[in-house]
Amino acid sequence: MVAARENIGVGLMGLGVIGSGVVSVLTGKSDKLALESNRPLILKKILEKDVSKHGSMGLSKGIFTADFEEFLNNPEIEIVIELIGGESPAFDFIKRCIKAGKHVVTANKEVIAKHGYEILQLARDNHVDVRYEASVGGGIPVISPFIDALMVNDIKAILGIVNGTTNYILTSMAQEGLDFDIALEQAQKLGYAEANPENDIGGADAAYKLAILATLAFSTEVKIEDVYYEGISKLEANDFRYSKELGYAIKLLAIAKQTDGFIEVRVHPVFISEDALLAKVDGVFNAIEIEGDLVGKLIFYGRGAGAAPTSSAVMADVVNIASNICHEIKSIPKLPSGETYKIKRMPEVKTRGYIRMRILDQSGVLAQISKVLGDNDISIASVIQKETDLSSNTAEIVIMTHPSKEDAIQKALTDMRRLAAVKEINNYIRVED
């Protein structure tokens, strides 16, 4: 009976940075959590390979286990918090907890992006709840608005800065004139980038988050393989200098748009007008702009990572589930409704573009380049000569294009590289208006 329940048991998988933050909230805000949940939340067990961590957290050694079976079979655990990270073994552990009748809260963007539909369907079949607010945006509440407050809107677009590591690096390059390698090294020294930062700088982390957001926004299953993504390692100091001269900032944007029954989902560096709100989001901060047919444009802004913000999102999910348990409310995870949107593949996407290249400084070269672009149905908006190297008789030029299809741009870039007068194509960056 509800009246006889004394507390709600919580199990934690993973005691890393975020897990330690969650334990601090559970112990430091116990009275507030009990008030909001209607019963005390009691940490019953921690699944952690390094059981020696108990000393640093002031926890009893007996609360730790490295044995998943012991953790799973603990009858006192009703809500499991998964903070192991990565796909394996987290995905298997989550499924087994659900089958055992335990509610699950996770911050695992990779698992939700790759297996979210399966997990949510399994939760429905086993009459438990699964929540994942912390999987995107850290402490920024962006998942729950899609599920609740924005449910009657037709979402037109999502534009997001959803990775704090890359945003810090791009901010450093823009404001300090640093090259990419130096900016990355600085981010690693400050703890904003991992020792192996490939998921961040390569765009995969943002792609996972975009797959989750797009699935919710368009109520259709968007798989990670549907998301085109590229990273920031090809950006150079000159790109930032020229972007500023042209009135733009450079950001790694997660972009999802719905038009005429198609969805485009892509992550890549963009030129964005320096007057846009997203252009002003600097450092490790995240921001997500959502456009709905009824609400217009909304922006969610804040710290996208870190122990405190992420713990806020995790514990909000835990409290909501606990409150439902106490009130005997069966919360059913929301599944995509099966809309019939098709994914627009990247070659079909149209954007404006910035091309920076080094060419021979002689007459007739621009005519050759213009012909290649024209042959590929690409219209030039402007051509600017930036720097001349007298010793090599070369010049650096910047070409801005009108909107063109991606496949045409890529073919034109290939064709231009074959021109003897084109010494190097340094970069191609899309422009997001």
Joined together, the tokens standing for residue 51 give 């059981």
Cα(124)–Cα(131) distance, integer angstroms: 12
User: In a 3-state reduction of DSSP, which class is residue 358?
Assistant: strand
Cα(305)–Cα(140) distance, integer angstroms: 9
Nearest to 105 by CA among 10, 220, 29, 28: 10
Label the pairing between strands 394-405 and 342-343: unpaired
E strand spans, 311-379: 342-343, 350-360
- Where on the phi/psi map is residue 101: left (φ > 0), alpha (ψ -120 to 50), or beta? left
Host H or E run for residue 256: strand 248-259
Label the pairing between strands 228-229 and 155-161: unpaired
Say which of 45, 109, 209, 344 is annotated catalytic.
Answer: 209
CA dist 307 → 25, 85, 106, 168, 313 (Å) = 10, 14, 14, 18, 10
Cα(29)–Cα(37) distance, integer angstroms: 12
- Other CB atoms closer than 10 Å to residue 28's CB: what's the count? 10
- Where on the phi/psi map is residue 123: left (φ > 0), alpha (ψ -120 to 50), or beta? alpha
Cα(144)–Cα(154) distance, integer angstroms: 16
Cα(158)–Cα(227) distance, integer angstroms: 13
Bond from prior residue into 336 cis (ω within 30 degrees of 0): no
Cα(41)–Cα(422) distance, integer angstroms: 66
Burial 260-290 (b: 16+ CB within 10 A, else e): eeebbbbbbbbbbeeebebbebbebbbbbbb
Q: Which residue has the tokens 């990419």?
A: 180
Fill in the DSSP letter of residue 335: -
Would residue 44 show up in a list of annotated catalytic residues for this protein?
no
Percent helix, percent strand, percent coil in the chain, to nearest 5? 40, 30, 30
CB 30 within 8 A of CB 63: no
Active site residues: 209
